Structure 1
């Protein structure tokens, strides 16, 4: 056993930089698992600043001075941030509360439809099975009501956390944009002077994750706005809530689109029934998903992350289990980081000693 471990150590940890990278990875995982929720505003601000830095670079290439570019970029960010937090999210929350109030009526309609099934398809489902399902669904519906009451009672601490986020995140983004070079130099000063491995990883990460993250922001905005306009045109209820869900669903590939289909179809069905309006809603929603997957994604992500679908799903499950909702949002960048580390990790043949032995 010791010989196996020694061979593994000599193969993968033969450089000082490899050991440093392994230690940084272990520390990062430990921090995410222990105080990830506490660090969430810092990491979210860092990601937002990283995204907005692309806007600042674009303004600089247009001929604006660096300070003016950063100032305009920050004004754009602040405007978008407070528009979402003060207008869009409260509207979506009000519609969510209204939808929760409509659940009993929707449940009664669904129960009336289920009662008919044993008469039409007695060989597939029995009345006893329908009663058991209805009883279980009633228990779940009561649980949803209790959770909503609990959220209402816990509204003051939640409101306090939201206020802290609304103050802390714009402030951190400002300093990350303003003092980017100073903070980068401070972090780099703690690393070894010779760091080819870290440089290779950073180049791959910067190229792929920047394209992916900025492309995702554009995709969320386009899909969300188009969904809102389409649902409004179809007179669908809870348009802001459903459009927000559809827009955010593109952040989680494969899984997100599957999950958000249920509320869209359910709201359309209970509002219109099996009428032409319901089929229009389903058709328009499927058309949005098809155009997103076949037109928008290829245009935005021609040079983005190249990960297998299985790797994406595994990353979502793993990081979501380790870090909760934040882990789901950051699953793709974290999976890209792991892929970049694997691709850049030096092999024994990359070292001067191994090259000299091969020459001899």
Structure 2
């Protein structure tokens, strides 16, 4: 019996409706799904250490507990290292605020003199921008940065995912038919390798960028160099967008604390050199993920992740799309989507190849006719 083929417009409508419904569910269940997503990626990252401890004849629960304890101690050490900078920054915040207000007033007067925009309209524009930012920040804080999610839920999810790892893997194998076991095994293996290599490479890259940022700011005499350098490195984890914000923060700090513009110029030059080193040396050699996503898809997916889940969605978007690409590359009907996500740029499109072959066939036919 021949399968009925539906018109393209009907198929595309169904697919579009399914995507809208999926994004609606993701948005409504953000409080549950975001901690689960972070926990899943972290569990994949910590799995090799846990497996190695189990091979040393350590009981599974004890091995998982040791793995989680090591991860928590590493994070606690990082916060302790930055705590002195944060305390110092908080103590000088009133002085910085007063200086920033003075600079803001001078800027308002300059805008009014040169562009004719009165102070009231400027304040209205700034308030609208701040309200939009508050909405995004509030959404992020209300989801992934909530105290309960960070302190309790994510560690619990990681523990349970590592504990029930075999059960979850068996489920993924059993929901597919037996002839697809090898294909499912390849997808799971590549997904695990892609997530681990991406996260480990990203953390290594972040550490190097934090050191370079902090060193450059200390040489330029910018206050709170280490704190701003680390924040800039963390923001750099957001592809293409975070780098711009990372430069703006130390420039703003130099504007508030120093006279003239030489320091700001030095920051822009130093950060541009660091960005060049990062994009051309660190990322290709250290962030050695098996899945490469092209720049266009990276920007679009980061913006979509930000619109859906805020800042946490931006962080999760790249590894999520990398997992999707692995799945798409393994399914025949979805391979065009996998190619669209990748960074392999063909020299010719299919239409050009088809026309070239057609011209060759016509030329051969003409030659035989003669």
Q: How many residues align?
A: 318
Q: 1:267 Cα deviation (Å)? A: 1.6
2:223 is aligned to 237
Task: Kindly indicate whether residue 319 of structure 2 is the aligned counterpart of residue 339 of structure 1.
Answer: no
For structure 1, list consecutive stretches of 5 or more residues without a partner in the other structure. Answer: 11-23, 118-125, 151-156, 349-360
- 2:158 alignment counterpart: 173
Alignment of 1:96-135 (within 5 A): 102-103=96-97, 105-112=99-106, 115=109, 127=113, 129-132=115-118, 134-135=119-120
- For normalisation by structure 2, the TM-score amounts to 0.68
Return the offset for 1:109: 2.3
Within a 5 Å distance, the mapping from 1:276-355 to structure 2 comes to 276-347=262-333
Q: CA deviation at 1:191?
A: 4.4
CA shift digits 1:37-78 (9 cap, x unpaired): 222222212211111123445x569x8456576554333202
**Aligned partners of 1:103, 1:148: CA distance in 2, in Å?**
19
Stretch deviating more after TM superposition (219-228 or 310-319)? 219-228
Q: TM-score, normalised by structure 1?
A: 0.69
Q: Do structure 1's residue 220 and structure 2's residue 206 form an aligned pair? A: yes
CA contact (8 A) 2:96 2:256 kept: no
**Given the superposition, is the C-alpha separation of residues 144 and 334 from structure 1 closer, same or farther in structure 2, using an over 3 Å criterion?**
closer
Question: Do 1:70 and 1:178's aligned partners in 2 also have CA atoms closer than 8 Å?
Answer: yes
Q: What is the Cα deviation at residue 286 of structure 1?
A: 2.6
SS state at 2:223 partner: coil
Question: Within 2, Cα distance between the matches of 1:39 and 1:111?
Answer: 44
Are 1:5 and 2:6 counterparts? yes
Cα deviation code 1:294-332 (max 9, x no counterpart): 222122123443111001011112222222222211111
In structure 2, list runs of 5 or more residues that go unmatched. 12-17, 136-141, 335-370
On the 8 A contact 1:99/1:238 being kept in 2, the answer is no
* Alpha-carbon spacing, 1:178–1:289, altered in 2? closer, same or farther (3 Å): same
User: Is 1:263 aligned to 2:249, yes or no?
Assistant: yes
RMSD between aligned residues: 4.5
**Alignment partners' CA distance in 2, 1:77 and 1:198:** 30
Report the Cα distance in structure 1 between the residues aligned to 2:78 and 2:272, rounded to whole angstroms. Answer: 26
**2:21 matched to 1:52?**
no
| 1:42 maps to which of 36, 40, 45 | 36
**Residues 144/319 of structure 1: CA separation in 2 closer, same or farther (3 Å cut):** closer
Question: What does 1:114-193 align with in structure 2 at a 5 Å threshold?
Answer: 115=109, 127=113, 129-132=115-118, 134-139=119-124, 161-193=146-178
Change (3 A) 1:261 1:137: farther
Whether contact under 8 Å (2:233, 2:246) holds in the other structure is no
Structure 1 range deviating more: 314-323 or 217-226: 217-226
> Judging changes above 3 Å, is the alpha-carbon distance between structure 1 residues 293 and 93 closer, same or farther for their aligned structure 2 residues?
farther
Q: Relative to 1, partners in 2 of residues 1:135 and 1:87: Cα closer, same or farther, differing over 3 Å?
A: farther
Counterparts in 2 of 1:318 and 1:144: CA distance versus 1, 3 Å: closer
Distance 1:171 1:245 in 2: 27
SS of equivalent to 2:332: coil
CA contact (8 A) 1:95 1:241 kept: no
Evaluate the alpha carbon distance shift between residue 161 and residue 101 of structure 1 in structure 2; reply closer, same or farther with a 3 A threshold.
Answer: farther
